[in-house]
Chains A and B, each alone.
Chain A
């Protein structure tokens, strides 16, 4: 099982995502933003960070990176793709996921260990969980407020595409307490919290995040 981790200029949690893949028992494969090459991986993670500085809208430039021209059709054909934080923002900008991430309601960056509820345990990245399960994973973002028009939100809810929800107080004003969503097929998942920082109680609040990385095994 080989899982690619894309490094854009300004990616920060690529090293952590690769570690999480390794701890889950898979082989992390480094992918470079400028290469139109997915190196034959079985799944792809877009890690957290500030791609290209995010001086424009978060993810707006990364969406045009050469590697995305390979990734976008592969994701549409069913390749499992996980976007974490900046990766989620990029997937939204690339229209692989619906909605957008905007400035936190409090206008400040928020780092906090949060209780999350797994609403959909049938996606490529959440199969290791059970529906309704609560997990503790850190959030760390300044633009994590999920926004979508009411019609989109309603259809996401109806289709079970809200994958992860904030179980406690909403930390950033996200519509419907949404922390993560998936595409209709369930192979592309984006979430603002950072499961790669919850893979070992020594360095995180829990090891709950490992489930995202082990989930992808079952489907490939």
Chain B
């Protein structure tokens, strides 16, 4: 142990506060070594420790409805859900916002890689990915740098890894300039018995690090990149070089190695060679060793000099902090080590025994014989807990008072027509093929629905047709106006999107993107959003299985809109009965489901046409969402529906346009009441369905039985979107406006 007791320690440069440093000294009863200081600094970063969010996230657990479907919940690498027939599914969404701003291609690529390893560590085969992306104004020069890089990174990594990209989101808002949101979701499938644990049990068992070698990638990334506000000159830099030092600390991905690691791990699991397993993500070896030890027998001895390096100049602190990608750590019985190494060799995956489990209760690391770390692992794994002050922002009242109801409305059919074209020609609502054409949606051959459908749908069993549906949704505008209700609206939308495919919603994951937790206004938004999510999930009867928090999405004092992105997983009993959003059955009756009120606060219409954000968001109606979802799943199961599309951004107007374009068939509708409200209101718990010709009576009876209000508004058919007494838009014109936007912006 180093006997240096004089030199001041650089805890502040590593992102630790004086109080945190004192806590480390008190825990150890002495000054920490450099390696220990590095270890604590990354483990206690906001990114790894959830120190500001933990007290609020605890609300999600008690609010979890008892769900027989939940096999593993919050606290694991990812939650695991029973989908029947002996299958279990694990899914999670995670942010890679800050790295994606600094280096868009590698930042986004390694975001995919990281979430895939989380899923793999649960014992599952990853089967699909999704990405929820938010950028600054579409025409801003910096968006022209960030967006193409992010998309190419996701494309390069996900395609080479062989996972279909089945959906996600793309949106633009000035609040994300300088703070793009890049959230990646992965879903994996396993048999019930395949569940792996992230714990180092059994003294004498060997600890094996395998995958890529360890380099200087992302050293300091976990604590410095994810915790320091961009642009703040007082922000903690990575030690000596401050701002400039952030640039090279983004990790570089190797999707080929990740593909080998996936196949290698699955063969190791299938051969029963693994006692415990953990992926290496943020905080690398530091995190994997402390978490495995803390969750297991409690002790571990690690030889840091046994870690295979790609840069021989690295010392213990760098090795502990390195975020080199494509690495996993396994706990293996001594008698199985040889077979473990054989499987790794088959897949050309490098593996090294770096330590063993002990019963000492201490995590002890040596460097060429010298002890450089000797700590109780729980003290690093658990981290501090903060009750940050929170306060409803003073400007919130003025924001709510500025209602959208006062905005000038389109006066006639021509003006309604112009507003619809403005909406579907706005970057956030335009055709997203420019992005999704760069992703492989076909690989693995089980993709039944993908973008631009409401939800992605993947077949799990080729014989029975069992499948899983997934949707992610976020809406910063709603959440800015009311984070509690906004989060429930976002949850409702993802839930509804899954139901629209014909699936039964089962579980929830979330990625909570917010500004600085040191700002009481942001902390209030966060607390409200978490409370909204907890209450919403309880009401809908879907458990939260896990998630991720991303704070410090902020430039100076300006934070992004509070943007919880919610992923909902559903189960589809027979994917052959899936429902698309596309109108492709001429003569199918169109039925508008749900109740429509005059709700324009935070709407796409107010945003696109007037650049306005104010008032109250639409009122969520979770009971109505449940009834609607029940109806959609039953109607799909009975084969009554030719199409179904949820109503959200841009209301019925945008939904009809999207359904016409997707299926290549027009429609003719007559709208009840005020046509403007009918077209552009964003009331929740609504969908439009096309009922198969001949099934209208059956559907009406089912709708009545489910207690879902509905009215027939017209028929699918023709080559134009026709709103009687208002306007007609030929599909060619609709398509031209819809598809021209992103290519014009991004080439």
Contact = CB atoms under 8 A, between A and B. Distances in A.
Interface string A1-12: 000000001101
Nearest to A199: B445
B255 interface: yes
A203 B445 contact: yes
Contacts of B436: 111
18 contacts: A9-B260, A10-B160, A15-B445, A19-B462, A50-B259, A52-B256, A54-B256, A55-B256, A109-B155, A109-B159, A110-B437, A111-B436, A111-B441, A140-B443, A197-B442, A197-B445, A202-B459, A204-B442
A111 B444 contact: no
Q: Give the one of B162, B255, B438 with max A CB within 10 A.
A: B162
Given A53-B255, A194-B442, A203-B442, 14 more contacts: A10-B256, A15-B445, A16-B443, A50-B159, A50-B256, A108-B437, A109-B437, A110-B438, A112-B437, A138-B442, A142-B159, A196-B445, A202-B448, A203-B448
A52 B254 CA distance: 11
Interface string B426-470: 000000000011111111111110000000000100100000000
A13 interface: yes
B575 A108 contact: no
B412 interface: no
A199 B448 CA distance: 13
A197 B159 CA distance: 15
A80 interface: no
A119 to B, nearest CB: 24
Given A10-B256, A50-B256, A202-B575, A15 B444 contact: yes
Contacts of B442: 16, 111, 138, 140, 194, 197, 203-204
A19 B445 contact: yes
A180 interface: no
A49 interface: yes
Interface string A85-114: 000000000000000000000001111100
Nearest to B165: A111
Top 6 nearest A-B pairs (CB, nearest first) are A53-B256, A12-B162, A16-B445, A197-B442, A50-B160, A109-B438
A55 B160 CA distance: 11
Contacts of B524: none
A53 B254 contact: yes
B555 interface: no
Contacts of A197: 442, 445
B437 A111 contact: yes
Interface in A174-207: 194, 196-197, 199, 202-204
Interface string A152-186: 00000000000000000000000000000000000
B23 interface: no
B336 interface: no
Nearest to B442: A197
B58 interface: no
B152 A108 contact: yes
Contacts of A140: 159, 440, 442-443
Nearest to A48: B443
B445 A111 contact: no
A111 B259 contact: no
A129 B442 CA distance: 23
Contacts of B254: 53
Contact of A202 (B155, B256, B257, B576): B576
B447 to A, nearest CB: 6
Given A9-B347, A112-B437, A16 B444 contact: yes
Nearest to A34: B346
B311 interface: no
A196 B442 CA distance: 10
Contacts of B575: 202
Contacts of B732: none
Contacts of A199: 445
Contact of A203 (B347, B439, B459): B459
A159 B189 CA distance: 48
Given A15-B445, A202-B448, A203-B445, A111 B152 contact: no
Interface in B575-619: 575-576
B210 to A, nearest CB: 15
B348 interface: yes
A102 to B, nearest CB: 17
Contact of A9 (B152, B348, B443): B348
Given A109-B438, A112-B437, A10 B259 contact: yes
B440 A111 contact: yes
Nearest to B437: A111
A49 B444 CA distance: 11
Contacts of A55: 256
Nearest to B441: A111
Contacts of A52: 256
A73 to B, nearest CB: 26
B742 to A, nearest CB: 12
Contacts of B443: 12-13, 16, 48, 140
B160 A203 contact: no
Nearest to A32: B346
A22 to B, nearest CB: 10
Contacts of A15: 444-445
Interface string B550-579: 000000000000000000000000011000
Contacts of B448: 202-203
Contacts of B439: 109, 111
A109 B155 CA distance: 7
